[in-house]
């Protein structure tokens, strides 16, 4: 297991696109949004919050989604096509070990990206740090596990890289919409917000936002995330092919 984790970490860091899209892109977007004067002013329609405050958890979720849905499935399917997984199959490694190694490496790197984003938001734009750090960490880990579960399920079920990339993109943009990237959840119509509650990014963003405000995430959103984790990881392990 330790060897798998080290191998996955080295492979991730050798890929400039993974580092750029997983760690550096969202801080750049935050800087762009923060440079818009209206985004730094309190808005009564948003409960007195500023737009820039709302976008920190949304951008964290966006970074998770980019790696989990666009990059991770393509990476694992590439391993399969190149015979890397077949060679691993004759070792003591088990499917769940490889999937767990993938999750661990990406969680550590996403934690680094999250710290960078939170620090930049605080120092550059006065965005408050999460008031309940424990609750925020729980929400972040569950959100990551749910999204990576979907990505691993795609990787386990599809036959080729192009198919994996296509499915990942098809899933990414609607999920990102319901996470509030284009229309923050706070101004969504109630019906649309109910749909958002049932999506991994919608539930994840709201859970992180609640924790950032000092509240424990709502049971509904934690239950939705836990359901995605359980269902997708079980299916990914069962469908996984070397």
Digitized pLDDT (tens) for each residue of the chain, 242 residues in all: 677 777 777 777 677 766 677 678 888 899 998 888 888 888 887 777 898 998 999 999 988 888 889 888 888 888 788 887 777 767 776 766 776 787 788 778 778 888 889 999 999 999 999 999 999 999 999 999 899 899 989 988 888 888 888 998 899 999 999 998 888 888 889 999 999 999 999 999 999 999 999 999 999 999 999 999 999 999 988 888 77
pTM of the shown model: 0.86
Dihedral Cα 80, 81, 82, 83, nearest 10 deg? 50
User: Among the residues of 126-180, which ranges form H helices?
Assistant: 133-157, 161-179
Which residues are CB-neighbours of 123 under 8 A, at least 6 positions away? none
Whether the Cβ atoms of residue 97 and residue 88 lie closer than 8 Å to each other:
no
Contact 30, 120 (CB under 8 A): yes
């Amino acid at each position: 297991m330790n060897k798998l984790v080290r191998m996955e970490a080295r492979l991730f860091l050798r890929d400039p696109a993974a580092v750029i899209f997983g760690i550096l892109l969202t801080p750049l977007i935050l800087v762009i949004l923060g440079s818009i004067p209206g985004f730094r002013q309190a808005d009564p329609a948003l409960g007195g919050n500023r737009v820039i405050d709302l976008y920190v958890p949304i951008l964290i979720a966006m970074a998770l989604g980019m790696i989990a849905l666009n990059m991770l499935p393509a990476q694992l399917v590439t391993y399969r096509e190149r015979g890397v997984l077949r060679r691993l199959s004759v070792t003591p490694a088990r499917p769940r070990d490889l999937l767990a190694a993938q999750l661990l490496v990406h969680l550590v790197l996403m934690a680094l990206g999250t710290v960078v984003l939170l620090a930049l938001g605080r120092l550059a734009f006065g965005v408050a740090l999460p008031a309940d750090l424990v609750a925020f960490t729980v929400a972040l880990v569950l959100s990551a596990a749910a999204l990576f579960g979907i990505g691993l399920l795609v990787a386990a079920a599809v036959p080729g890289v192009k198919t994996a990339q296509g499915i990942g993109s098809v899933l990414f943009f609607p999920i990102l919409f319901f996470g509030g990237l284009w229309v923050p959840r706070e101004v969504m119509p109630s019906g649309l917000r109910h749909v958002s509650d049932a999506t991994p990014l919608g539930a994840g963003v709201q859970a992180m936002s609640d924790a950032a405000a000092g509240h424990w995430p709502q049971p509904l959103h934690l239950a939705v995330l836990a359901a995605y984790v359980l269902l997708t990881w079980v299916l990914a392990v069962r469908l996984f092919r070397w």
